[in-house]
Amino acid sequence: MLTFAGVLLALFLSSLDQTIVATALPRIVADLHGFDRFAWVATAYLAASTALVPVYGKLADMYSRRNIEVTAILIFLTGSALCGLAGEFGSLPLLGDGMSQLIIFRALQGLGGAGLLAMAFIIIADLFPPAERGKYQGFVGATFGLSSVLGPSLGGLLTDHGSGLLPGVAGWRLVFYVNLPLGALALWFILGRMPRLKPRGEKKAFDYLSALLLIAAIIPLVLGLQLNKVAYGWASPLTLGLFATAAVVLVLFVLRSLHSDNPILDLTLFQNPVFRTANIATFLLGGAFLSIVIFEPLFMVNVLGVSATRAGISLIPLSLGVVGGSMLAGQMVARFGHYKRWMLAGGVLLLTGQVLLATMPPTVSYEQVLLYVLLCGLGLGPCMPLYTLAIQNAIDPRFTGQATSASQFFRQIGGVIAAALLGTVLTMSLAQNLPAATQPTATESRPAVVEEGAAGLRAEVLTRPTPEVRAAFTHAISRVYFCTLCLVLCGWVATLFIPDLPLRTSNTVCPTPVRVAEPVK
């Protein structure tokens, strides 16, 4: 249990960082004079953390999982400390000014953050057999929910009032330094109590070429999706070039994986129906989750006219729903088994919440939206632990690292792709329906109402939105949520095809053996 606590604390670090930094970013950009590059602070972290998740999974199948976890924490803490120092010593050779330093160090943070995310589920799989694992994996969802509630508040508190805590240190730098004591505590738990957890399979040479090809495919894909589509549209040469590069390198990665005797991701895992269909579902539901997080505050600000603070608070029911839903589903599976019925039940709740969000009129009350979001959270709660549990239960334990990290990867990349596409749906609808007075002019550097960047879409506070603006945003966000409803429905249908296998009571026996890939001659 001490090992479990250390792993959750490390995971809390990673998930807290993403929400706490977003709150402090406006002050950071102002101090470092880097508004023209603010989007890259989030993009650098996202690209690095997404691309490295499968690599960590493979490393966990080859080496001591404790060593991999400790390495990921140390990389993350090093990146955090350097982010806090960005710009303190002026412009530096090779690193550039303070904003460029921050972007580089955020990428380093992302390299460690990928390991914290991937290794949490992998280590929990080693600590507990599938029959008991559900109730413990439910705490993972609770960890994400807690960080999403605390992050914005803590980030705002440190940014606005933390400058006096350490002499000569700006408050926003504490947003990064706060990771250091928490990380040290996590290291104490892990180094003092965690067993080495050596891999079960035979040792082979690490395929560095496969790893490089995978990273080289994912990074341009994420960058292409995260580009500001106002400046670089979907048909722009830069966007198309990035997508083409990603496609070509991904084909090379697949060919290399088919010929390698130790690929980063064993493609024969996709022959397993649980692995295949569960990853399709997580890909779609990952997009649905991020859709709610991005577009619900937009509705609150630009339709109901609430403050940015109240719009942020309105996401707390979503977090509470995810916490309650994940823990309840985990307990029910551990007690009664049959993970599939709880997945489908959560999907029904999520579908209901999405229908209510998609049909909201401009006259909907603040409290009603909170209820709809809570319902979505309760439906999303079982998604994070149970789909991963189903995959881990179905595959050979030798492939636990690869299979688990693949599940996390598909969830993340699904969210990135959905955010980009749904953001385009929103901006196109607003362009058709917004009054001319609120449309951006040719001389403006960014849209007057909506800005599309690395973190998706950000609301510009309209203290008194006019009826025309309210109607335009209501129509646009309804379109977005109807698209999200389609994602959820497709994910629910995919869940119907997931075999409901008996949960194993041991970590050493697999009910559905997976054929080990042989190199293609």
**Residue 121 above 90 pLDDT?**
no
Q: How confident is the model at residue 462 (pLDDT cuts 50, 70, 90)?
A: very low
Residue 520 has what pLDDT? 44
Instruction: Assess contact for 214 and 51: CB atoms under 8 A.
Output: yes
Helix (H, G, I), strand (E, B) or coil at 456: strand
Topology of the domain covering 1-204? Growth Hormone; Chain: A; (1.20.1250)
C-alpha 507 chain-centroid distance: 28
Segment 400-411 mean pLDDT: 90
**pLDDT for residue 22:** 75
Handedness of CA 362, 367, 368, 373 (dihedral sign): positive
Contacts with 76 (C-beta within 8 Å, 6 or more apart), sequence order: 13, 14, 109, 111, 112, 113, 115, 116, 179, 183
Predicted confidence at residue 62, as pLDDT, reads 87
Q: Quick one: pLDDT band at residue 384, thresholds 50, 70, 90?
A: confident
Does 481 have pLDDT greater than 90?
yes
pLDDT of 440 higher than 60 = no
Task: Say what angle helices 98-127 and 383-394 make with each other, to 10 degrees.
Answer: 60
Which two tokens mark 134? 């559900």
Percentage of the chain beyond pLDDT 70 is 90
Q: What is the pLDDT of residue 43?
A: 82
Name the DSSP letter for residue 450. E
Q: Which helix (H) or strand (E) holds 451?
A: strand 450-453
Which amino acid belongs to residue 419? A
Instruction: Examine the pLDDT at 448 and tell me if it is beyond 50.
Output: no
CATH architecture type of domain 273-440+447-500: Up-down Bundle (1.20)
pTM summary value = 0.84
The better pLDDT of the pair 252, 123 is held by 252
Averaged confidence pLDDT in the chain: 83
Residues with Cβ < 8 Å from 402, sequence gap 6 or more? 54, 57, 58, 61, 264, 265, 266, 269
**pLDDT > 60? residue 397:** yes
The string of DSSP letters for 371-382 reads: HHHHHHHHHHTT
CA distance 407 to 411: 6
- How far apart are alpha carbons 18 and 60 in whole angstroms? 24
- pLDDT bin (cut points 50, 70, 90) of residue 518 is very low
Place 296 in a pLDDT band, splitting at 50, 70 and 90. Answer: confident
Q: What is the pLDDT of residues 191-239, one digit of tens each?
A: 888 887 777 666 778 889 999 999 999 999 988 888 877 777 888 899 9
Task: Please say whether the beta carbons of 56 and 405 come within 8 A.
Answer: yes
Tally of residues, the chain: 521
Pairwise pLDDT comparison (517 vs 168), residue with the higher score: 168
Is the pLDDT at 26 greater than 90? The verdict is no
What pLDDT shows up at residue 465?
67
Share in percent of the chain as helix, strand, coil (round to 5): 75, 0, 25
The tens digit of pLDDT for each residue in 142-178 reads 787 778 777 777 777 787 777 777 777 777 888 898 8
Q: What is the mean pLDDT of residues 238-253?
A: 94
What is the rounded CA–CA span in Å between residue 107 and residue 109? Answer: 5
Predicted confidence band of residue 515 (pLDDT cuts 50, 70, 90): very low
The yes-or-no verdict on residue 32 having pLDDT over 70 is yes
More confident residue, 451 or 172: 172
Lowest mean pLDDT among 26-30, 220-224, 374-378, 476-480: 26-30
Higher-scoring residue by pLDDT: 362, 144: 362
* Band of residue 497 on the pLDDT scale cut at 50, 70, 90: very high
Which one, of 142, 193, 133, lies nearest residue 8 by Cα? 142
The pLDDT tens digits for 93-110 are 888 888 899 999 999 999
* pLDDT for residue 202: 64
Beta bridge partners of 450: 459
- Of residues 488 and 34, more confidence is placed in 488
Name the H helices within 303-444: 308-313, 316-336, 339-358, 366-380, 383-394, 400-433
- Provide the pLDDT for residue 450: 35
Residue 518 exposed, middle or buried by CB count within 10 Å (0-12, 13-18, 19+): exposed
